[in-house]
Amino acid sequence: MSGNNGRGITNRDIFGEVRVEGVTKKYEKEGQCQTVLEECSLHVQRGKLTVLMGPSGCGKTVLINLIAGYEKPTAGRVYIDDTPVTGPGRDRLVVFQETALFPWMTVYSNVTFGCRAQGISRGETKERAELILKKVGLYEFRDKYPTQLSGGMQRRAELARAMINDPKIMILDEPFRGLDAMTRQLMQGFYVGLFEEIGRTNFFVTHEVDEAIFLADRLVIMTFQPGKVKAEIDIDLPRPRDVRMLASARFMEIRGQAIDLLYEEAAKAFSAGSKTAYDLMGALVAQKGACNCLDDKK
């Protein structure tokens, strides 16, 4: 891996691809067996931004843990390029749902954690850190602790901590959850810009339909319990992406398609008694147009 982070070199071949092949994940809890993923297959393409959507409890986070190597599948295999995943690795770094910055380290120490763990020289670490911190706009905040940062800054610090290591694949598990609407939109713009500049393989999980379509090259929708891929939609909106696209006719068309698919799964989750599915249902009903949905229910 050459140090091309953030220097605008977009040789996409150096990035990786993920193949999830027939993966099943079961958990046994108090004698009860729960199948979270069943025969799930998925291809995260090289140099593309793949977004995964699905109702709560469909095993999105489990799938991420399997790709990252934190957990092992009950059956099936996960491959990075052509190598099976056996454990966590620096080639695929995760930005977690709730912030996973180390609270006892300054922004600088957090960002350089990977470099220090690998024994990279102090000079090079500093050079890389300054570059990446300036890129995410946190250079002035390098000596602050995570709790002293705003939510958006924390997410940027986390992106920087991963990107400084130049991973082949970035995995993001609802990274903008909990941010206020304004910050969220700014972060989406910032993130999509970074992706378009570097062209790294990205695997992004979210709950938000608009966010998903705005970011994605390819949208993957999962089924509810047991989780597997329900549908894949290629998002052919031009890049670079722009907020104005959110109002384009093509965007609305894809959105309608995605919402229909999601609604079916959310309804399943809802009737299975998932509390969070209730929220998603509500949101989807609102987005679909209330009357339309009520008719469906009758």
Partner 1 sequence: MKKISKVVNVKTLRGVVSVVFFVALWQLVVLVKVPYLQNLPYPKEVAVDGIQAAGSKAYWFDWGISLMRIFIGFIAAQLIGIPLGLAMGISRIFKSYTFPVFEILRPIPPIAWIPIAILFWPTRELSIYFLVFIGAFFIIVINVLQGVSNISVSLKWAATSLGARPKDIFWKIMVPGSLPSIVTGMTVGMGVTWNVLIAAEMIAGQGGLGRMTWEAYTNHNIPFIVVGMVSIGVAGYLCSTFIRWLGEKAMPWKRKF
Nearest alpha carbon to residue 213 among 234, 189, 227:
234
- Contacting partner 1 (CB under 8 A), which of 14, 39, 96, 217? 96
Please report whether residue 90 would count as binding partner 1 according to CB under 8 A.
yes
Minimum distance of partner 1 from residue 29's CB (angstroms): 17
Q: Which stretch binds partner 1 (CB under 8 A): 15-23, 27-35, 42-50, 88-96?
A: 88-96
Please state, as a whole number, how many other Cβ atoms lie within 10 Å of the Cβ of residue 208: 17
d(C-alpha 12, C-alpha 10), whole Å: 6
Q: Which is nearer to partner 1, 22 or 89 (CB)?
A: 89
- Contacting partner 1 (CB under 8 A), which of 40, 53, 66, 68? 68
Please report whether residue 89 would count as binding partner 1 according to CB under 8 A.
yes
Please report whether residue 113 would count as binding partner 1 according to CB under 8 A.
yes
Please report whether residue 98 would count as binding partner 1 according to CB under 8 A.
yes
Q: Which is nearer to partner 1, 146 or 226 (CB)?
A: 146
Q: Which of residues 12-51 bind partner 1 (CB under 8 A)?
A: none
Please report whether residue 117 would count as binding partner 1 according to CB under 8 A.
yes
Q: Which stretch binds partner 1 (CB under 8 A): 29-37, 101-109, 203-211, 254-262?
A: 101-109
d(C-alpha 56, C-alpha 35), whole Å: 15
Please report whether residue 100 would count as binding partner 1 according to CB under 8 A.
yes
Q: Which is nearer to partner 1, 34 or 148 (CB)?
A: 148
d(C-alpha 151, C-alpha 262), whole Å: 28
Q: Which is nearer to partner 1, 38 or 158 (CB)?
A: 158
Minimum distance of partner 1 from residue 162's CB (angstroms): 8
d(C-alpha 85, C-alpha 55), whole Å: 26
Q: Which is nearer to partner 1, 29 or 104 (CB)?
A: 104
Nearest alpha carbon to residue 276 among 174, 180, 185:
174
Strand order of the sheet with strand 229-234?
Answer: 92-95, 169-173, 201-205, 49-53, 218-222, 229-234
Q: Which is nearer to partner 1, 79 or 145 (CB)?
A: 145
Nearest alpha carbon to residue 153 among 93, 205, 214, 106:
106
Q: Which is nearer to partner 1, 51 or 68 (CB)?
A: 68
Please report whether residue 123 would count as binding partner 1 according to CB under 8 A.
no
Phi and psi at residue 52, to the nearest 5°: -110, 130
User: Residue 191: which region, alpha, beta or left (left: phi > 0; alpha: psi -120 to 50)?
Assistant: alpha
Q: Which stretch binds partner 1 (CB under 8 A): 90-98, 128-136, 253-261, 270-278?
A: 90-98
Q: Which stretch binds partner 1 (CB under 8 A): 129-137, 142-150, 192-200, 252-260?
A: 142-150
For 39, counting Cβ atoms within 10 Å of its Cβ (0-12 exposed, 13-18 middle, 19+ buried), the class is: middle
Q: How many CA atoms lie within 13 A of 264 on its CB side?
A: 10
- The Cα-based distances of 249 to 186, 231, 246, 252, 266 in angstroms read 23, 21, 9, 5, 25
